[in-house]
Amino acid sequence: MESDLRARAAQLGLSSSIVFTGQVGDVRPYLKMADLFVLSSDKEGFPHALLEAMVCGLPSVVTDVGGNNEALVDGRTGFLVKPGNSQELARSIGYLLVHREERRRMGVAAKARVHECFDVEKTMTHIKEILRAS
């Protein structure tokens, strides 16, 4: 869909504001440049991309599908919006872009949540404890 998206960006006069990078191996440099993360999926499994954004300290606006609501705490680490509701999505993005301090606070909370709830070492230790107890 890249050619369609490029044409749409040109129609909207946004060509100079959008960079089409293509596939990249390491998204961290891009996440570190961002002010927020948006994941507007209709379907989602476990949201690895969301966790990557959160660990980079980004507040997120995500649709309430799949595991997004397990990773993100609505109103604390970002916003959950109804899938297909573009107005709610735009409103939440706009809010975070305007409210810099709220964006910063949510980003700090997002990073802390990933370390607290999704740390690989803690998870493996917990699984080992469960297996030993059974």
Beta bridge partners of 78: 60, 74
CATH class of domain segment(s) 25-133: alpha beta
pTM of the model: 0.84
List, for residues 28-70, the tens digit of each pLDDT value.
999 999 999 999 999 999 999 999 999 999 999 999 999 999 9
Confidence class for position 27, pLDDT limits 50, 70, 90: very high
Domain boundaries, the chain: 25-133
- Per residue in 93-127, pLDDT (tens digit) is 999 999 999 999 999 999 999 999 998 888 888 88
Helices (H), the chain: 2-11, 28-33, 48-55, 68-71, 86-98, 100-117, 120-133
